[in-house]
Amino acid sequence: MSSLAVADDEPDNWRGRSLSPMPQSVPELADVDPQKVRLGEMLFYDPRLSKDNSISCASCHNLSNGGVDGRTKPIGIDGQEGSVNTPTVFNSTYNFTQFWNGRAESLEEQASGPVHNPSEMGSNWAEVVAKLNRDPFMTNAFQATYDAEISAENIVDAIATFERTLVTVDAPFDRYLKGDMTAISPQAANGYALFVSYGCAACHQGVNVGGNMYQTMGAMEDYFKDRGDVKDSDMGRFQVTGREQDRFVFKVPSLRVAALTAPYFHDGSAKTLNDAVRNMAKYQLGREIAENDINDIVAFLESLAGEYKRFDPQ
């Protein structure tokens, strides 16, 4: 596998929380403010964040569907199609940056993106705040939670706080890592060994089995030449930094709930996990993987999906 694609002026913490060479189990949920979580959940489902009151965060990040919409590209206001595949919101707190091109450094910063994107929610904070201020329930909720009026800062803080509770726990693979050798099937266990030996774990690692580094899409073979029809959305980090070495560079996606989030890649071009593994082998590893090995790796990936337990402070 090629070396990581990193701009010379990337900050020292570009690597995120850690670069463990192996997947790690999901830790216990960190302490969060229950009032902020409840308010953030309401806002996550509130279509008033969009210009025409038709799109909420949950419209694209469906929590009953792996935190995605299941589309190749999302649909925003007025039926507009987005430019990249919707990443899952589950376990996004463990990503070192947000969005495929890493343009948001925090969940708070990410929450502003779709609101202002003309092909997604197509609104702005002034419009959103004005609408929410006409709702006595919401004004009271913000006053009770923040001891303040509704503001953009408090909206994104509440949404981000809620999103930090969107973690999946007790995956079969996590139980396996903790010593329960019967938690996953022999096929999945072999798939894990293959995942490591083929080099997949060089990029898909840590708690989120990804999400903590950047890599070139097509590190070993020219993915975009083969696919054709290259668009601005294919430029990856180049859209953020303008540096040539960041062209086609993307944040490595998490595989934690990959079994639930088809289709795959920033362009949604891989329709199944088997397709995704096969293509990654060709374009990122520069090799072919036998179909039996692909099936075993997919069994391992399926064991990564844990359970989402709605935050319910007692």
The Cα–Cα gap between 161 and 215 comes to: 28
What are the residues facing 81 on neighbouring strands? 75
Two structure tokens written together for 155: 């909206």
34-163 matches 12-24+168-308 in CATH topology: yes
User: Is 41 an annotated catalytic residue?
Assistant: no
Kindly state the average pLDDT of the residues 229-240. Answer: 97
Instruction: Given CATH 1.10.760.10, say whether it is the number of domain 12-24+168-308.
Output: yes
pLDDT value at position 14?
35
The full set of domain ranges for the chain reads: 12-24+168-308, 34-163
Residue-wise pLDDT for 106-162, tens only, equals 999 999 999 999 999 999 999 999 999 999 999 999 999 999 999 999 999 999 999
- Please enumerate, by residue number, every residue annotated as part of a binding site: 57, 60-61, 200, 203-204, 280
Handedness of CA 306, 68, 251, 153 (dihedral sign): negative
Asked if the model's pLDDT at residue 273 lies above 50, the reply is yes
Please tell me the distance from the alpha carbon of residue 236 to that of residue 262, in angstroms, as a whole number. 20
Q: Flag whether pLDDT at 18 surpasses 80.
A: no
**For residue 31, is it left (φ>0), alpha (ψ between -120 and 50) or beta?**
beta
**Which one, of 60, 52, 75, 73, lies nearest residue 111 by Cα?**
60
At residue 23, the pLDDT reads 77
**298 pLDDT more than 50:** yes
CATH superfamily of 34-163: Cytochrome c-like domain (1.10.760.10)
pLDDT for residue 199 is more than 70: yes
Cβ neighbours of residue 204 closer than 8 Å, sequence gap 6 or more: 23, 195, 210, 252, 255
Long-range contacts of 131-138 (CB under 8 A, 24+ apart): 131/48, 131/53, 132/46, 132/48, 138/42
Residue pLDDT, tens place only, 80-98: 999 999 999 999 999 999 9
Closest by Cα among 129, 96, 127, 125 to 113: 125
Report the distance separating Cα 314 and Cα 304, nearest Å. Answer: 28
Helix (H) or strand (E) holding 169: strand 168-169
Q: Are 198 and 83 in contact (CB under 8 A)?
A: no
Catalytic residue among 41, 108, 120, 302: 120
List the one residue out of 289, 88, 272, 301 whose CA is nearest residue 185: 301
The SS3 call for residue 251 is strand
Annotated binding-site positions for heme c = 57, 60-61, 200, 203-204, 280
Average pLDDT, integer, range 274-292: 97
Cβ atoms within 10 Å of 26's Cβ, excluding its own: 22
pTM reported for the whole predicted model: 0.90
